[in-house]
């Protein structure tokens, strides 16, 4: 009798623990989700994609210095995702807030392959030259594979499709599946000035996971956005737009944002970097937008040009490095988790 009771109690305890486990699962079918961490690197970029099979792609490495702050935050995200190595590190362009953290990252966690657009084209800028030299030195160790990516290529990562749409100032020539529609916003749009920095060289990618489409153009500037989107939209609509250039004024034009018509936009701004009010307005007014999320409250935006607190990973004040995490499903549904509030918002798959 005591034995039966003990077994009964054990079974009850087991079912209770299983019950808790099921409730604690972050996403229905979480083991089949694409996980995307928008790591807070204080106004730089670092976005980690981890497939259900554990394959990983990191887009940019954040800043150099700060005692390895950004490498530590990337390593923490990798640990949370259950990976011990980063298979691919994609460098969008050679600015210190994107490639600067590469040496510290490589010292912190094993990396397989680096992907970039080729040479640094902003040799007149001492900071770009310095971070490019440090990156070249890292590559010269011979420890890593390197891919110089071209528009149209699909990167050799399995479990999701990563298609290059822009690189080194070049663009895809033909529209992608889902693209090709005339863009009504082009007719009245003024041609933006040509940007001669590394920004328009950004290695931009369209990432698809089943029906889910995510666009990341690094710091691509408005002149290239127009080439990509006019007269026809070569990309098509996307579910998630990684807001270009941290929400700075030189990027995120209406010809891009209205045409890709994201359901959700995620801005990797810092407290004092990006989040320009004019760009914020373009995103907020974009047709079909359900939510904008921001890594930081933007000082420049003030209360009129910042999202409500539940959609902010980091409020004003103390730097606590909170992140946003997307869990995406192949049916097109996804959810966004805010590590500050511990709250999750779900976005159902579209009907069509
Ligand atoms: Zn940047």
The number of CA neighbours under 13 Å toward the Cβ of 349 is 12
261-290 burial code (b ≥16 CB/10 A, e <16) = bbbbbbbbbbbebbbbbebbebbeebeebe
Q: How far is the C-alpha of 84 from the C-alpha of 67, rounded, in Å?
A: 21
Cα Rg for the chain, rounded, in angstroms?
21
Whole-number Å distance, alpha carbon 44 to ligand 1 midpoint, is: 5
Whole-number Å distance, alpha carbon 79 to ligand 1 midpoint, is: 25
Residues whose CB falls within 8 Å of the CB of residue 174, separated by 6 or more in sequence, listed in order: 234
Q: For ligand 1, a single-atom ion, which residues have Cβ within 5 Å?
A: 97, 219
Whole-number Å distance, alpha carbon 28 to ligand 1 midpoint, is: 34
**Diameter of the chain measured on Cα atoms:** 84
- Enumerate the H helices of the chain as residue ranges: 2-24, 69-81, 102-108, 126-140, 222-229, 254-260, 277-284
Whole-number Å distance, alpha carbon 273 to ligand 1 midpoint, is: 9
DSSP-based three-state secondary structure for 111: strand
Instruction: Please count the helices (runs of H) and the strands (runs of E) in the chain.
Output: 7, 19
Model pTM score: 0.91
116-148 burial code (b ≥16 CB/10 A, e <16) = bbeebbbeebeebeebbebbeebeeeeeeeeee
Please state whether the peptide bond connecting residue 231 to the residue before it is cis, i.e. omega within 30 degrees of 0.
Answer: yes
**pLDDT tens sequence for the chain (352 residues):** 344 433 334 333 333 333 333 344 455 555 699 999 999 999 999 999 999 999 999 999 999 999 999 999 999 999 999 999 999 999 999 999 999 999 999 999 999 999 999 999 999 999 999 999 999 999 999 999 999 999 999 999 999 999 999 999 999 999 999 999 999 999 999 999 999 999 999 999 999 999 999 999 999 999 999 999 999 999 999 999 999 999 999 999 999 999 999 999 999 999 999 999 999 999 999 999 999 999 999 999 999 999 999 999 999 988 899 999 999 999 999 999 999 999 999 999 988 6
Whole-number Å distance, alpha carbon 91 to ligand 1 midpoint, is: 11
Whole-number Å distance, alpha carbon 46 to ligand 1 midpoint, is: 10
Q: How far is the C-alpha of 261 from the C-alpha of 323, rounded, in Å?
A: 24
Q: How far apart are the first and last CA of the chain?
A: 58
Whole-number Å distance, alpha carbon 153 to ligand 1 midpoint, is: 23
Whole-number Å distance, alpha carbon 1 to ligand 1 midpoint, is: 68
Q: How far is the C-alpha of 50 from the C-alpha of 58, rounded, in Å?
A: 9
Q: How far is the C-alpha of 340 from the C-alpha of 167, rounded, in Å?
A: 34
Look up tokens 């010269």; give the residue.
140
Whole-number Å distance, alpha carbon 40 to ligand 1 midpoint, is: 13
Whole-number Å distance, alpha carbon 219 to ligand 1 midpoint, is: 6
């Amino acid at each position: 009798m005591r034995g039966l009771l003990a077994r009964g109690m054990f079974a009850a305890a087991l079912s209770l623990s299983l019950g808790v486990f099921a409730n604690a699962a972050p996403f229905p079918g979480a083991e089949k989700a694409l996980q995307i961490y928008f790591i807070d690197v204080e106004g730089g970029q670092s976005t980690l994609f981890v497939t259900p099979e554990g394959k990983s792609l990191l887009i940019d490495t954040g800043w150099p210095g700060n005692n390895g702050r950004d490498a530590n935050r990337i390593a923490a995200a990798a640990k949370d995702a259950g990976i011990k190595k980063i298979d691919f590190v994609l460098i969008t362009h050679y600015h210190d807030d994107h490639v600067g953290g590469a040496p510290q990252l490589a010292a912190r966690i094993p990396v397989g392959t680096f992907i970039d657009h080729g040479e640094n084209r902003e040799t007149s800028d001492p900071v770009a030259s310095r971070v490019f030299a440090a990156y070249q030195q890292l590559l010269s160790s011979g420890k890593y594979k390197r891919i110089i990516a071209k528009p149209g290529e699909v990167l050799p990562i399995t479990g999701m499709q990563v298609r290059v749409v822009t690189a080194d100032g070049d663009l895809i020539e033909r529209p992608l599946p889902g693209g090709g529609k005339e863009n009504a916003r082009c007719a009245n749009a003024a041609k933006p000035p040509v940007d001669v920095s590394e920004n328009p060289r950004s290695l931009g990618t369209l990432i698809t996971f089943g029906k889910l489409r995510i666009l990341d153009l690094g710091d691509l500037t408005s002149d290239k956005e127009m080439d990509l989107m006019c007269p026809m939209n070569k990309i098509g609509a996307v579910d998630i737009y990684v807001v270009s250039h941290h929400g700075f004024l030189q990027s995120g034009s209406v010809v891009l944002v209205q045409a890709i018509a994201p359901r959700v936009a995620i801005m990797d701004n810092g407290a004092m970097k990006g989040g320009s009010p004019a760009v914020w307005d373009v995103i907020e007014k974009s047709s079909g937008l359900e939510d904008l999320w921001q890594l930081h409250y933007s000082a420049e935006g003030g209360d009129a040009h910042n999202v409500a607190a539940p959609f902010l990973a980091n409020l004003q004040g103390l730097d606590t490095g909170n992140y946003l995490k997307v869990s995406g499903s192949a049916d097109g549904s996804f959810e966004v988790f805010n590590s500050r509030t511990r709250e999750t918002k779900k976005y159902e798959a579209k009907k069509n």
